[in-house]
Amino acid sequence: MTDAPRSAPPEEPRPSGVTHQLPPGVIVNGLRAAYGRIEVLHGVDLEVPPGSVFCLLGPNGAGKSTLLKAMSGRLRPTAGSVLVGGGPIGRTSTEKLARAGMCAIPEGRGVFPNLTVRENLSIWTYRGGTSLKEVEERTYAAFPRLRERRSQLAGTLSGGEQQMLAISRALVTMPRLLLLDELSMGLAPLIVDQLYDLVGTLASDGMTVLLVEQFVTTALDVASHAAIMVHGRIDRVGTPRQMADAAFGAYLS
Ligand code: ATP
């Protein structure tokens, strides 16, 4: 487990062809969001330093996924702000955020189920800069199993294979800020380790990662920072080890 925060990455050109790049640190201030009349985020304050792997833990229904939705433009906050690289994202569309270097991989895979593995990869190359051949090579090197399954419909892959494909989007688009929702959900520990190995590799290339997990998992081995969210607020922030211990005390015991 890594307790020491990673240092900020050097500002190097990314191999992604991403335009209008933003520095990837995130500051969330007093963020509130609701579904209809029911408020779920009650004023979230959070700082994700550039170059960090930030693990957000919390029990069922704490609002973790809602926070990622609000940060990635899929849910409009009712109050507060999200600053990415010092600039407010306000009403920025998900498309613009993607062009600015943000990639959000939602809970429940985030793949196109009616397209094959290869077709999914080809869709992610739409912003240009990388050929499908190159993308396939990169993806299959990380996940050899996807090579064998390249002509299979994504919806018929196993849960672990779908999650491998989902996270391959980050390999294809090389975002500067990656938001990951419950990568480990329902998966065998070995596959979770493999997925988080890749997250560690992406982070060591300078990507900032904010990831959400309900339980204490391998995620904390690659994390440099952690926090616990409870009832729509950040309850505490600390090192991954401190937050693992606190999670056991607060809601896992
Ligand atoms: P989990 O770890 O179980 O995924 P979470 O911390 O990610 O939980 P959210 O999914 O953000 O929590 O849900 C927070 C609250 O908002 C829950 O009470 C949930 O029922 C509610 N909620 C989530 N999505 C919607 C929606 N689309 N419409 C109405 N309520 C929703």
Contact 239 CB / ligand 1 (< 6 Å)? no
Q: Find out whether the beta carbon of 37 lies less than 6 Å from any atom of ligand 1.
A: no
Cβ–ligand 1 distance for 184 under 6 Å, the answer no
Alpha-carbon distance of 207 to 24, in angstroms, equals 8
**Is 33 a pocket residue for ligand 1 (Cβ < 6 Å)?**
no
User: Which residues are within 8 A (CB) of 128 and not within 5 positions of it... i.e. 6 or more apart?
Assistant: 17
Q: Considering all CA atoms of the chain, what is the largest pairwise distance in Å, rounded to the nearest integer?
A: 48
Q: Which atom of ligand 1 is nearest to the CA of 212?
A: 7
- Tokens describing residue 187: 């998966």
Q: Which of 181, 207, 231, 206 is nearest to 55 (CA)?
A: 181
DSSP strand pairing (26-35 vs 79-84):
antiparallel
Contact by Cβ (8 Å): 179, 68: yes
As a whole-number percent, the residues of the chain with pLDDT over 90 amount to 51
**Any atom of ligand 1 within 6 Å of the Cβ of 61:** yes
Neighbours of 210 (CB within 10 A): 26
Instruction: Name the token pair of 235.
Output: 């309850």
Q: 8 pLDDT band (50/70/90 cuts)?
A: very low
Mean pLDDT of the chain, nearest integer: 85
User: Which of these, 65, 74, 72, 78, lies nearest to 97 by C-alpha position?
Assistant: 72
CA of 89 to the centre of ligand 1 (A): 22
- Is residue 58 within 6 Å of ligand 1 at its C-beta? yes
Q: Which residue has the tokens 């995620």?
A: 219
pTM reported for the whole predicted model: 0.85
The 10s digit of each residue's pLDDT in 55-89 is 999 999 999 999 999 998 889 999 999 888 767 77
Q: Does the structure show a pLDDT above 60 at 16?
A: no
Alpha helices in the chain (DSSP H): 64-71, 94-99, 117-124, 132-142, 144-148, 159-173, 189-204, 219-222, 240-247
Expressed in angstroms and rounded, the spacing between residue 71 Cα and the centre of ligand 1 is 15
Which of the four pLDDT bands, split at 50, 70 and 90, describes residue 95? confident
16-37 average pLDDT score? 74
Rounded to 5°, the CA angle 92-49-40 comes to 55
CATH 3.40.50.300 assigned to domain 26-111+176-252? The reply is: yes
In sequence order, which residues have a C-beta less than 8 Å from that of residue 136 and are 6 or more positions away? 118, 121, 147, 150
In angstroms, the CA 167 to CA 156 distance is 17
Give the pLDDT score at 118: 96
User: What's the pLDDT tens digit per position in 157-200?
Assistant: 999 999 999 999 888 888 889 999 998 888 888 899 999 999 99
